[in-house]
Chain A
Amino acid sequence: MAEVSLKHIYKVYPNGTKAVNDFNMEIKDKEFIVFVGPSGCGKSTTLRMIAGLEDISAGELKIGDLIVNDVEPKDRDIAMVFQNYALYPHMTVYENIAFGLRLRKLPKDEIHKRVTEAAEILGITEYLGKKPKEMSGGQRQRVALGRAIVREPKVMLLDEPLSNLDAKLRTQMRAEISKLHSKLQTTFVYVTHDQVEAMTMGTRIVVMKNGFVQQIDTPKNLYNYPENKFVAGFIGTPQMNFFEGTLLKSGENVVINFDNSEAEITVPYSMLYKTKPSYLDGKTKVYIGLRPEDISLASDDVKNGKAVIKVSVSHKEELGSETLIYGDINLNGDGYVESSTRIIIKDNCEREINAGDLIDVALNLDKVHIFDAETEASVLPRIPEYNYLDCEVKGGKLGFLGTELVLPEAVKCADLKGELLIPTDAITFDGNIKAEVAACENINGVNLLALMLGGKRLYAVAPSLIGDKTVNIGVDLKKITIISNGENVVSPMPEINRFDCTFEKRKTVEKVEANGKVKNKKTAIFGFNVAGAFFKSSDDASQKIFAALGIKKAFSAPLKLECGVCDLHFTDSGIAAVAEETLDYGKEKFLKCKVGENTVYVKTETEYNGNVYLLPDFEKIGVVETEREIKII
Chain B
Amino acid sequence: MEKKKLRSKKGAERATRILIYAVLIVISIIWLIPFLLLIIQSFNGNAGGGYGNSIFPEVWTFDNYVKLFTETDFPKWYGNTLLVSVVVTVFQTAIVLVTSYALSRLRFKMRKPLMNLMLILGMFPGFLSMTAVYFVLKEIHLTANPLGLILVYSASSAMQYYICKGFFDTIPKSLDEAARIDGASRQQILWKVILPLAKPIIIYTVLTAFIAPWGEYMFASLIMRGDTSMYTVAAGMKEIFLSQGNEYKYFTVFCAAAVVVSIPITVLFIWLQRYYVEGITGGSVKG
A and B bound? yes
- A contact set with B: CB distance below 8 Å: 51-53, 72-74, 78-80, 82-90, 99-100, 103-104, 131-135, 137, 140, 147, 151, 164
B282 x A89 contact (CB < 8 A): yes
Known: A74-B182, A83-B286, A147-B178. 19 other contacts (CB 8 A): A73-B180, A74-B181, A79-B181, A80-B177, A80-B178, A82-B178, A84-B172, A84-B174, A86-B172, A87-B283, A89-B197, A89-B281, A89-B283, A99-B179, A99-B182, A100-B183, A131-B283, A132-B284, A140-B283
Given A134-B283, A135-B283, also A88-B175 (CB < 8 A): yes
Q: Which chain A residues lie closer than 8 Å to B197 at the CB level?
A: 89-90
Quick one: which of B174, B192, B196 contacts A82, CB cutoff 8 A? B174
Chain A residues closer than 8 Å to B188, beta-carbon distance: 103
Q: B27: CB under 8 A from chain A?
A: no
Q: In the complex, which residue of chain B has the Cβ closest to the Cβ of A153?
A: B181
B196–A87 touching, CB < 8 Å: no
Q: List 21 A-B contacts (CB under 8 A).
A: A52-B181, A73-B181, A74-B183, A74-B184, A78-B181, A80-B181, A82-B174, A82-B178, A84-B172, A85-B285, A86-B284, A86-B285, A87-B283, A88-B193, A89-B280, A90-B197, A103-B183, A133-B283, A133-B284, A140-B283, A147-B178
CA A87 to CA B283, docked complex, whole Å: 8
Which residue of chain B lies nearest to A53 when distances are taken between CB atoms in the complex?
B177
Q: Which residue of A lies closest to B171 (CB)?
A: A89
CA of A135 to CA of B284 in the docked complex: distance in angstroms?
Answer: 10
B180, B192, B193: the one within 8 Å of A74 (CB): B180
Interface string of B245-287 (1 = CB under 8 A from A): 0000000000000000000000000000000000011111110
User: Ordered nearest first, which 5 A-B pairs have the shortest CB separation?
Assistant: A133-B283, A100-B182, A89-B284, A84-B285, A74-B183
Q: How far is the CB of A514 from chain B (nearest CB, A)?
A: 38
A100 and B193 alpha carbons, distance in the complex (Å): 12
CA distance A131 to B172 in the complex (A): 17
The answer on a CB contact under 8 Å between A53 and B180 is yes
Instruction: Looking at the assembled complex, report how far the CB atom of B153 sits from the nearest CB atom of chain A, in whole angstroms.
Output: 31
Q: Residues 191-223 of chain B: 1 if any A CB is under 8 Å from the residue's CB, otherwise 0?
A: 011001100000000000000000000000000
B residues near A134, Cβ cutoff 8 Å? 283
Binding site of B, secondary structure by majority: helix, strand, loop or mixed?
A: helix
Give chain B residues whose Cβ lies under 8 Å from the Cβ of A133.
282-284
Number of interface residues of B (CB under 8 A): 23
On chain B, the residues within 8 Å of A137 by CB distance are 286
| Complex Cα gap A151–B181 (Å) | 10
Give the contacting residue for A164; candidates B281, B282, B286; CB below 8 A. Answer: B286
CB distance from B18 to the nearest CB of A (A): 37
* A131 to B, closest residue via Cβ: B283
Decide: B283 and A51 in contact? CB cutoff 8 A: no
Q: Shortest beta-carbon distance, B64 to chain A, in Å?
A: 47
Complex-state Cα separation, A72 to B285, whole angstroms? 24
Measured in the bound complex, the distance between the Cα atoms of B181 and A512 in whole Å is: 46
Cβ-defined contact, A87 with B285, below 8 A? yes
Q: For the complex, what is the distance from the CA of A99 to the CA of B183, rounded to whole Å?
A: 9
Q: How far is the CB of B287 from chain A (nearest CB, A)?
A: 8
Q: How far is the CA of A134 from the CA of B181 in the complex (A)?
A: 25
Say how far B95's CB is from chain A's closest CB, in angstroms. Answer: 24
Return the chain A residue nearest B197 by Cβ: A90
Q: How far is the CB of B109 from chain A (nearest CB, A)?
A: 11
A73 contacts which chain B residues (CB < 8 A)? Answer: 177, 180-181
A135 contact set on B, CB distance < 8 A: 283
**Complex Cα distance A76/B53, Å?**
79
User: Are A132 and B283 in touch, CB under 8 angstroms?
Assistant: yes
Instruction: For B180, list chain A residues within 8 Å (CB).
Output: 52-53, 72-74
Residue of B with least CB distance to A76: B181
Q: How far is the CA of A402 from the CA of B179 in the complex (A)?
A: 69
CB of B213, distance to nearest CB on chain A (Å): 31
**A82: nearest residue on chain B (CB-CB)?**
B174
Known: A132-B284, A137-B286. A86 touches B183 (CB 8 A): no
Give Cα A137 to B283, complex, Å: 9
A104–B185 Cα distance when bound, in Å, is: 11
Least CB distance from A324 to B in Å reads: 32
A51 to B182, CA, bound (A): 11
Q: Which residues of B contact A140 (CB under 8 A)?
A: 283
Q: Which residues does chain A contribute within 8 Å of B175, judged by CB atoms?
A: 86, 88
**Across-interface contacts of A132 in B (CB, < 8 A):** 283-284
From B182, B196, B280, B281, residue with most partner A Cβ within 10 Å: B182
A53 to B105, CA, bound (A): 13
Q: Which residue of B lies closest to A133 (CB)?
A: B283
Task: Give the chain A neighbours of B283 by CB distance below 8 A.
Answer: 87, 89, 131-135, 140
Pair B285/A103 contact, Cβ less than 8 Å: no
Min CB–CB distance A78 → chain B (angstroms): 7
Taken together as a complex, chains A and B put the C-alpha atoms of A444 and B177 apart, in Å, by 36
Q: Bound state CA distance, A134 and B280, in angstroms? A: 12
Q: For residues 7 through 62 of chain B, which have their beta carbon under 8 Å from a beta carbon of chain A?
A: none
Bound-state Cα–Cα, A135 to B192, Å: 22
Are A103 and B182 also in contact (CB < 8 A) when A86-B285, A89-B282, A89-B284 are?
A: yes
> Can you name the residue of chain B whose Cβ is closest to the Cβ of A87?
B284
A156 CB to closest chain B CB, in angstroms? 11
In this complex, the member of B177, B178, B188, B285 whose beta carbon has the largest number of chain A beta carbons within 10 angstroms is B178
A590 to B284, CA, bound (A): 66
Which residue of A is nearest B177, CB measured? A53
| A130 nearest in chain B by CB position | B283
Task: Choose among A72, A88, A137 the residue with the greatest number of B CB atoms under 10 Å from its CB.
Answer: A88
- A152 nearest CB across to chain B (Å): 13
B240 nearest CB across to chain A (Å): 48
Chain B proximity of A140: nearest CB distance (Å): 8
Expressed in whole angstroms, the Cα–Cα distance for A151 and B179 within the complex equals 13
State in angstroms the CA–CA spacing of A90 and B180 once bound together: 17
Q: A86, B280: Cβ atoms under 8 Å?
A: no
Least distance between B125 CB and chain A CB atoms (Å): 39
- Chain B residues 137-185 with CB under 8 Å of chain A are 172, 174-175, 177-184
CB pair B286 A84 closer than 8 Å: yes
- CA gap between A137 and B287 in the complex, in Å: 10
Instruction: Report Cα–Cα, A100/B180, bound state, in Å.
Output: 9
User: Which of A88, A90, A104 touches B183 (beta carbons < 8 Å)?
Assistant: A104
Complex CA–CA separation, A218 to B284 (angstroms): 36
Q: Are A90 and B280 in contact (CB under 8 A)?
A: yes
Query: Which residue of chain A has its CB nearest to the CB of B182?
Result: A100
B174: chain A residues at CB < 8 Å are 82-84, 86
Q: Which residue on A lies nearest to B281, using beta carbons?
A: A89
Set of chain A residues within 8 Å of B179, measured between Cβ atoms: 88, 99
User: Which residues from chain B contact A131 at a C-beta distance below 8 Å?
Assistant: 283
Partner of B177, one of A86, A99, A100, A164: A86
Minimum CB–CB distance for A49 against chain B, Å: 13
Contact partners of A84 in chain B: CB under 8 A? 172, 174, 285-286
